[in-house]
Every structure is written in C-alpha cells, then in structure tokens.
Structure 1
Amino acid sequence: MTSPVTLITGSSSGIGLEIAVQAAGGGHTVVATMRDLAKAHRLRDAARAIGVTLDIRQLDVTDADSIAACIDGVVDTHGRLDALVNNAGAGHVGTIENESLDTVRDVMEVNFFGVVAVTKAALPHLRASGGRVVTVSSVGGAVGQPFSEAYCAAKFAVEGFLESLAPVAETVGVRVSIVEPGAVASDFVPNIGLDRASMVADAGAYGPALDAYLARSGQSFANAQSSADAAAAVVAVLDSSAPTLRVQTSAGASAFVGTKLVDLDGGAVLGMTRTWVAAAD
C-alpha cells in the first residue's frame, strides 16, 4: 500500500511532536507543521533519534494564506492527502469578568476557528483519498471547568462542529474522530505562562477560588499522562480500520468524560467542579 500522507498541526512540542514521530515510525508520510519553524529543532532531534524522516512545514492555523499555501504545497509534493490531525491549540486560564472579549475571541480563534479553517481546506483532498480527520480536543471539550471558560467554550465548539460534521463527511468517504486527553505532561501548560501569585493577587473577589483551582490543577498535572502515551492513542485512531467518533487517551480521561455523558441535569458535573474552587477550611 502507498504510505498515507498525514498532515499534523502544532508539531513543535508535546503531543503534536510525539504524534509526528510515532506516525512516521508506523509508516506514515508525515507532514509536521508549526507556526514558527525556529522551534523545529526538538522535532528534528526526536525524528533523528528513531531514524525517521519528516516533511516539516510552516503553518499558522489562524492565517488563511498560510493554510492554503501549506495544504496546496503538500498536495503538490506528495500528490495526495490522506489524514489531517488537528492538534494546534493554546491553553488559557481566566474568568470573564476579569478579561476582555478580545482575549476570549483570541482563544476561540486558535482553538476553534483554526480547526474549522484547516479542516475546510483539507476536506476536498480527504474526500478524494477517502481519508480522515482526527482532532485533538480535551476532556475540557466535554466537561466545563472553572477558570477555563474561554478554553472550554472553544473545545465544546470543536466537539459540536466535528460531531455534526461526522455523519455528513462519512457520506463522501471521510471519517471524523475526536481524541480527548486529560492532564498531559507537556509544554502545553507551561506555555500558558501562569504566575500563580500574581494571578491570584489580580483576581480580586475571585482570588480565593482561583488559588484553590490552581492548587488542584497542580496536583492533577503532577500525575499527568505522558505526551507519548496520549499521542499513541491518536496514532491508533489514525491506523484504525473503523475509528470511532470519540476516544479518550486514558482510563482517567474516560471516567472524567463519563461524568458528563450520563449527567442529564448537570448536577454531577457541578457537584464535582464546585469542590475545585472551594477555599480550604
């Protein structure tokens, strides 16, 4: 069989880097993309360490010209596109009274509209190849979490978009899947640039709740899944002959998302998340 041509966004570090290397090791022709090619050294080193070759290209998921140039270039070079992995995204912590609407729009632009724009551009080529779209969402795409309003809103939107697209895309031979990691030990959280003390000091009336939430989050990430393990779940979806719509990357993520999927009145989710923002006695 021809090696499937797989484009991955957000490949400079973390889950995206691991997806690129593992997929290439598994026989995919990987086009690994990132916004800033100056950050490609870690990816190149990881690929070299296991003896695989990657096609590394620039792609900014918030820039229509960058998207078009990248996808057109991939098809010109490789003659086809078999899979798209939407992995690029950015974390965010904040609550709406204390931040601007422009900040919320920026979070939506990267985490939601970026997925929509790249998927739209890729679909004609995926339709031609009978390919698939695999999108890295989050357990935050199923369960709303304190001080993650904009981020979870974006991930909820991603999941609604893809869940709605899936049956339509399937009629033209394209499979759609959503992968939901929980806490993952990667650069994703450090890249948010959290300064707990200053954030709590600036949070005003929300300070005690934010302090409690950040303390709980620190404990969660202390026991986080590795990027490699989370990426393996994504690659398994890429290679599956019958991929499901929704996949979690760990038993903990499945249990967490399961809280929402059986919670018809919302009481179970609120009962859980209220404890995250309760100040210690």
Structure 2
Amino acid sequence: MRELGLTVVTGGASGLGAATAREIAEQGGRPVVLDRKHPETDLPFEEVDLADRHAIEQAISQVVEKHGRPSAVVNAAGIDVCGQLSDVSAEDWEHVIAVNLLGTVAVTRVVLPHLKETRGSVVNCASTLGLRALSDASAYCASKFGVVGFTRSLAAELAGSVGVTLLVPGGMRTAFFDDRPEQYRPGPDAQLNDPDDVASAVLFALRQPHGCEVREMVVCHSGETSWP
C-alpha cells in the first residue's frame, strides 16, 4: 500500500472533510485543511474562500511554501441551497456551482503539477445526487453532476500519471443539513452514514499502490433513498 504523504483536504473543518483529515493524520499522513472556517484542531490550516480561484491559487502556494509538495488532494468541500429554481436567487444558485464544481476544478488545477511530480492522487467528492436528480435541488445536482463528468474526464486524461478517484457518498450525519429549512432536512428516521466510515473509504483509495486505482466508489447507507 502507498504511504500517505502531504494531502490537501478542502472542506476539512467539518463533516467528511474533517473526518478525512483526522483519519489521514491518525494513519501517519500530513493533512492540510483548506476551508473558510478554522478546523478547531492543531492540523495545518489555510483559510480560503473556495469560490475564489485567485484565493485558491494563493492558498496552495502557501501550502507548498510551508509544507512542501502535496502528494494528494481530497476535494470534500460542498454547500447546498434548496428550493425551486424560481425561489432561489441567482447569486445563491451560482455560489453552489462556484464552490462545489469550480472550486473542485480550481484546487485540482493548481495542485496538479505537484501531483505529477509526486505521482500522487486526486479524490473528488460528488454525491448520489450527482447521478440521480431530485426536485428543489437543481444547483446541488448540477454541481455534483458536473463533478462526476469532470472527474471521469480527468481520470482518462491523467491515466498512468496521477490517480483519480470519484467518490459518490450518500447522506451522512454531519452539520451539512443544519441550515436548511425544516422541510429539506432528513427526518428523525433517516438512515445516514457516519462520515468516519466514508473517510475510511477515502483512505483506501489514497493508499492504493501506483498503477492500481479505485476509479469510482459509491459509499452509502444500505437504506439510502437516493441510491440506486
């Protein structure tokens, strides 16, 4: 299995990103968190707005200067806005695309030269809603369908040089749903995964030896309603 090295984790202050960063550290790797919020741990951290390409470029430059070349990136940051298209402002809708899709692309683009040098790997977090569309989730679905297409294309483009994994998680027990209107929150009987379990799957992908790749994986609760 591949040794874990310096890994950039977006959205590492909470949810799946935090679970992944913690797991990497526990397994002997060196995670660096990119987020707007401090992770409230002693892990290395760069504050950055993942909707801002120029800020991302500066943050990755700081990571390299302080810690060296990354050997992996896990794009776990994600936001949502619920409601019918006519009820969601253009600014809010486009912000979801900017963070979830364009932020994933921007981080990958900036880190990629380093990953080519280290023969590293990329794990991009999509969603079961990147494969199945639901009403009142057009921004989130559009962004995650985009991540699916981007990651599959990137895997073909980088075959043999950088490992690329598409992660498709179902719902998880995180703060992701906290700011939603009540009607869009999981009910008390919702069956959701523990983000630590999904993080273990991410680590499995990161630790594959050179030339062996986990190209795609769906990780969800057995009762997940959005899969299949």
User: What TM-score does the superposition give when structure 1 sets the normalisation length?
Assistant: 0.74
Letter in 2 for 1:218: G
Q: Call closer, same or farther: CA 1:150–1:255 in 2, change over 3 Å.
A: closer
CA distance in 1, matches of 2:93, 2:206: 31
Q: 1:256: Cα distance to partner?
A: 4.9
Considering fraction of residues, name the structure with more helix: 1
Could you say what the CA RMSD is over the residues aligned between the two structures, in angstroms? 2.2
Provide, for residues 178-222 of structure 1, a one-character-per-residue CA deviation record: whole Å limited to 9, x for no partner: 1111110001111xx2233xxxxxxxxxxxxxx5xx48x4256x3
Structure 1 segments, 4+ long, off by >6 Å, are: none
Provide, for residues 88-146 of structure 1, a one-character-per-residue CA deviation record: whole Å limited to 9, x for no partner: 11022111122233322111111111111111111111111111110111111111112
List runs of 5+ in structure 1 lacking aligned partners.
45-52, 197-210, 260-281
CA distance in 2, matches of 1:6, 1:31: 6
Q: Call closer, same or farther: CA 1:253–1:58 in 2, change over 3 Å.
A: farther
192, 200, 211: which one pairs with 1:232?
A: 200
Q: Which residue pairs with 1:243 in the alignment?
A: 213
Letter in 1 for 2:205: V
Q: Which residue pairs with 1:116 in the alignment?
A: 105
Percentage of pairs with the same residue: 31
Structure 2 matches for 1:176-255, cutoff 5 A? 176-190=164-178, 193-196=179-182, 214=184, 217-218=186-187, 222-241=190-209, 242-250=212-220, 252=222
Letter in 1 for 2:116: R
Letter in 2 for 1:230: V
Q: Which residue pairs with 1:74 in the alignment?
A: 63
Letter in 1 for 2:159: E
> Structure with the greater relative contact order (CA < 8 A, sep ≥ 6): 1 or 2?
2
Secondary structure of the residue aligned to 2:19 is: helix
Letter in 1 for 2:198: A
User: What TM-score does the superposition give when structure 2 sets the normalisation length?
Assistant: 0.90
List runs of 5+ in structure 2 lacking aligned partners.
none
Secondary structure of the residue aligned to 1:134 is: strand
Size of the aligned set, in residue pairs, is 225
CA distance in 1, matches of 2:116, 2:225: 34
Provide, for residues 240-270 of structure 1, a one-character-per-residue CA deviation record: whole Å limited to 9, x for no partner: 222322111236388954x3xxxxxxxxxxx
Q: 1:64: Cα distance to partner?
A: 2.4
Letter in 2 for 1:85: V
Q: 1:22: Cα distance to partner?
A: 0.5
Letter in 2 for 1:170: A
